């Protein structure tokens, strides 16, 4: 498939059904998964002002059962039990609900989705429990840098606008016990959850006639009503502002925010154009210039609010020490660049590369990602009026140029230098103060468009060649790969790990190329797996050898400044920060921690150290789905790869520690704990039983620890592979429980779940049977490639995933019960990482 054929294959067919529901449909090839997304055109800004958070609260409640499906058989446990994915999101003026599953179970999922939206139970006892979940989420958001930045920006608006109000919701704003609140909750649902305010998008390998027939069933019937007109308050920041915000653990950053209003319809697309060019880190880009001046490590465009031609647009710069001192110069440079890009840049070149980027990006998207792209008003489509986008970009530029921005500096200096503001307006305690802004120097910036991304247009010279590299496993993909391919490389380290800062140095050097690869339709990932490094390229197959070729010089000899960055980034990685949820930080560290303790080289990362690492590092590779004419170009690149080509050998790991505890960070307002239980034996039969066990436990664990015990809103379990080891993860972040209490709840859950397996319920047996297809060998290229690569990382051959899929069909309750006993006995070891010390002497703390 060529990128320019995306219009006919991946563009949704849209129609309005007789009941007023807007429908978009994409027919996918046989073998694809299926996805659905419902957008309700109402959100946080549409709730009664006396009940902040009501829209978000209702989003949570809808998952707790409906008239046709009890809570234990509702959409969430149904999708979780079948290996799918689902979520929901409440924004300012819309709320989205979405899921993706195997095609054979899609109809049952769609029935559950539409029934829960139309006929929720809204049980008051369940509301009381779920309110505690929102309270925990509110407490976490009160320490999140991005949330606090948006709240601080809201304080600088000139007129009352919902953006400046509190919408998160908490225990105080959701008086479940009050009759007036219940009336408001049901009134909001009745006002907005109907066909006039809803939009349904589906991507599935079936005909639209089959979909329309499914929508006729009773569970899929939605209330019918006309669209609701909603007023729009003016959005202004007439005088701008210069503010300083302190957030514990935050790294220095600068937010340059603009309040925009009265823009034409295509302004959201124009903003997407601007964002695509802002993301570029190529020569001549804004990122490259600010990096060369040692002011900034990274740039991003955020749009925390956008609706009907008005919005808040934020340029966020991660500052260096020098950039912190020269913030006025940074602001002047960014504003100068914005003026150039919106009012002076050559439109034809700007638009042409943007269209190429969007075409490439669409080719590799999964069904759900496709729907989330097309539901956005900023989505590019082949039919879009180019001239109108250009005019909208100029209107955007005029407002940005003439406006007084809100300039917000954020850091984690501490010491309460800023006064704390606990206002009803923001709902969060802000350590915020006005700041005196220095005058910027009179520097004349000479901007130009960033260098073109050659991966969008260049092609590897095709050549079919026999696979002659022993360390390369080449797998053809039988099904329609839609032009996609996957390529994996691994460098193994036997006894001595490389200097810790080296991986960070290479990762920093690759950042420039990660953005360019994404824009060319290729996902680039470079992972530290503890005893090995892994490079992954997935996406537009024709570009993969080209991208890998251009990465060779970076891998062999990164820029000298990358080594300094590596040391700094290593320090940041080993200390928790406010930029990311704590539990995600723990999960990211786990792969290094579960590997056997090897001797770690503490040498300063530099070019000689990197060369020593490459000299002793054997590599192996996997290519999946690439057409035969790329076999020659790919092997040419691999021949120049650093390290030496060598078939992987099974690593002798020795007997694992049974109970291992790693501490990351210090006890704080919240406690996060992740327990990883690796497989005791890596055989197809054991892995199959553990995968089924994880699927059986996922919904029950979530329900027990999140809904019933109300430990927090970040609660999950599931089967995962961390580096070279697979197993089951249990994770909780809680504002109320200690690490010892969280671990205790996990162990009690495992005990009670083991008891439930002695006399399994019909629901549990149904999930076990459904898992046979959900866990089967996927025909999706990405899932198949990932399964084979994980098998190779674990020392298994390429046939291992097929063997697991076959074994899953034979797993019964007796097998699951036996493996749960093995898990509880820690036969494969238990590895905990938490922001607290081990609670007792059975743990060996690292």
Question: Which phi-psi region, left, alpha or beta, contains residue 502 (left: φ > 0; alpha: ψ -120 to 50)?
Answer: alpha
How far, in Å, CA of 406 to CA of 331, rounded? 11
DSSP type of residue 600? E
Closest CA to 515 of 506, 507, 524: 524
Closest CA to 148 of 168, 173, 172, 169: 168
The dihedral over CA atoms of 180, 183, 184, 187, expressed in degrees to the nearest 10, equals: -160
- Residue 233 phi/psi, 5-degree rounding, is -75, 150
The full 3-state SS of 696-760, as one line of letters, equals HHHHHHHHHHHHHCCCCCEEEEEEEEECCEEEEEEEEEECCCCHHHHHHHHHHHHHHHHHHHHCC
Report whether 599 contacts 498 (CB < 8 A). Answer: no
Is residue 402 part of the annotated active site? The answer reads: no
Report whether 635 contacts 467 (CB < 8 A). Answer: yes
Report whether 407 contacts 242 (CB < 8 A). Answer: yes
Which tokens sit at 553?
């010089």
C-alpha distances out from residue 807 to 114, 161, 509, 684, 811, Å: 35, 58, 43, 7, 7
Which tokens sit at 619?
């590599």
Closest CA to 330 of 291, 374, 302, 361: 291
How far, in Å, CA of 484 to CA of 1, rounded? 9
Contacts 24+ apart (CB under 8 A), 825-830: 826/658, 826/659, 826/677, 827/680, 828/656, 828/677, 828/678, 828/679, 828/680, 828/681, 828/727, 829/656, 829/657, 829/658, 829/659, 829/660, 829/677, 829/678, 830/658, 830/659, 830/660, 830/675, 830/676, 830/677
The dihedral over CA atoms of 111, 112, 117, 121, expressed in degrees to the nearest 10, equals: 130
Name 564's Cβ contacts closer than 8 Å, sequence gap at least 6. none
How far does Cα 768 stand from its chain's mean position? 28
Burial bucket for residue 495 (CB in 10 Å: 0-12, 13-18, 19+) = exposed
How far, in Å, CA of 284 to CA of 451, rounded? 6
How far, in Å, CA of 786 to CA of 764, rounded? 28
Catalytic residue among 59, 137, 146, 199: 59
Catalytic (active-site) positions: 59
């Amino acid at each position: 498939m060529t990128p320019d054929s995306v219009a006919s294959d991946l563009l949704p067919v849209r129609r309005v059904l007789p009941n007023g529901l807007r429908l978009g449909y994409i027919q996918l090839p046989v073998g694809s998964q299926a996805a659905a997304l419902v957008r309700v055109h109402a959100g946080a800004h549409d709730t009664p002002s006396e009940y902040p958070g009501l829209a978000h609260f209702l989003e949570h409640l809808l998952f707790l059962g409906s008239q046709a499906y009890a809570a234990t058989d509702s959409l969430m446990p149904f999708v979780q039990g079948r290996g799918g994915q689902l979520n929901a999101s409440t924004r300012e003026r819309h709320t989205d609900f979405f899921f993706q599953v195997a095609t054979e179970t899609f109809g049952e999922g769609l029935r559950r989705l539409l029934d829960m939206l139309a006929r929720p139970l809204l049980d008051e006892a369940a509301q009381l429990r779920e309110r505690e979940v929102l309270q925990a989420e509110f407490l976490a958001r009160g320490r999140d840098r991005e949330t606090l930045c948006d709240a601080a920006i809201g304080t600088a608006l000139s007129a009352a606008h919902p953006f400046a109000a509190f919408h998160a919701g908490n225990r105080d704003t959701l008086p479940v016990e009050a009759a007036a609140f219940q009336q408001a909750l049901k009134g909001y649902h009745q006002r907005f959850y109907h066909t006039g305010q809803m939009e349904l998008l589906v991507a599935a390998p079936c005909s639209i006639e089959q979909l329309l027939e499914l929508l006729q069933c009773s569970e899929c019937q939605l209330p019918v009503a006309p669209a609701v007109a909603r007023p729009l308050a003016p959005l202004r920041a007439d005088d701008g502002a210069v503010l300083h915000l302190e957030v514990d653990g935050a790294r220095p950053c600068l937010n340059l925010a603009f309040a925009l209003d009265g823009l034409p319809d295509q302004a959201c697309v124009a903003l997407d154009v601007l964002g695509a060019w802002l993301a570029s880190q190529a020569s001549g880009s804004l990122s490259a210039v600010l990096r060369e001046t040692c002011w900034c490590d990274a740039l991003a465009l955020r749009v925390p609010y956008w609706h009907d031609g008005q919005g808040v647009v934020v340029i966020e710069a991660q500052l260096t020490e020098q950039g912190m001192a020269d913030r006025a110069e940074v602001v002047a440079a960014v504003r100068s660049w914005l003026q150039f890009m919106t009012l002076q840049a050559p439109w034809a070149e700007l638009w042409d590369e943007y269209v190429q980027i969007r075409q490439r990006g669409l080719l590799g998207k999964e069904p759900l990602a496709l729907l989330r792209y097309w539901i956005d008003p900023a989505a590019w489509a082949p039919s879009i009026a180019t001239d109108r986008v250009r005019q909208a970009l100029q209107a955007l530029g005029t407002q940005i140029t003439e406006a007084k921005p809100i300039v917000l500096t954020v850091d984690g200096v501490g010491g309460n230098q800023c006064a704390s503001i606990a206002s009803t307006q923001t709902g969060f305690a802000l350590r915020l103060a006005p700041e005196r802004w220095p005058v910027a120097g009179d520097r004349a910036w000479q901007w130009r468009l960033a260098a073109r991304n050659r991966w969008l247009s260049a092609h590897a010279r095709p050549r079919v060649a026999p696979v002659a590299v022993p360390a390369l496993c080449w797998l053809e993909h039988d099904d329609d790969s839609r032009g996609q391919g996957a390529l994996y490389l691994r460098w193994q380290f036997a006894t001595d790990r490389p200097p810790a800062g080296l991986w960070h140095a290479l990762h920093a050097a690759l950042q420039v190329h990660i953005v360019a690869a994404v824009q060319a339709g290729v996902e680039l990932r470079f992972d530290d797996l503890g005893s090995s490094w892994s490079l992954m390229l997935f996406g537009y197959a024709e570009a993969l050898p080209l991208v890998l070729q251009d990465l060779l010089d970076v891998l062999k000899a990164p820029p000298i400044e990358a080594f300094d960055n590596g040391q700094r980034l290593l320090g940041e990685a080993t200390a928790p920060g406010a930029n990311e949820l704590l539990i995600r930080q723990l999960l990211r560290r786990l792969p290094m921690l579960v590997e056997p303790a090897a001797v770690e080289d503490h040498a300063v990362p530099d070019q000689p150290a990197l060369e020593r690492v490459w000299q002793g590092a054997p590599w192996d590779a996997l290519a999946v789905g690439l057409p035969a004419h790329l076999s020659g170009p790919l092997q040419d690149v691999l021949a120049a790869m650093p390290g030496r080509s060598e078939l992987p050998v099974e690593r002798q790991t020795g007997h694992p520690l049974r109970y291992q505890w790693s501490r990351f960070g210090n006890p704080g307002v919240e406690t996060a704990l992740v327990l990883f239980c690796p497989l005791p034996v890596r055989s197809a039969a054991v892995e199959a039983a553990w995968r089924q066990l994880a699927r059986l436990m996922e919904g029950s664990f979530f329900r027990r620890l999140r809904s019933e015990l109300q430990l927090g809103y970040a609660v999950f379990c599931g089967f995962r592979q961390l580096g070279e080891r697979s197993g089951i993860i249990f994770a909780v972040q809680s504002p109320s429980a200690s690490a010892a209490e969280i671990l205790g709840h996990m162990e009690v859950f495992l005990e009670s779940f083991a008891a439930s397996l002695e006399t399994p319920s019909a629901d549990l047996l149904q999930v076990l049977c459904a898992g046979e297809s959900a866990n089967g060998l996927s025909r999706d290229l990405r899932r198949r490639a990932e399964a084979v690569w994980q098998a190779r990382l674990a020392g298994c051959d390429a046939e291992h995933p097929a063997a697991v899929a076959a074994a899953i069909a034979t797993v019964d309750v007796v097998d699951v019960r036996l493996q749960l006993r093995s898990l509880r006995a820690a036969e494969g070891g238990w590895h905990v990482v938490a922001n607290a010390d081990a609670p007792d002497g059975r743990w060996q703390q690292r």
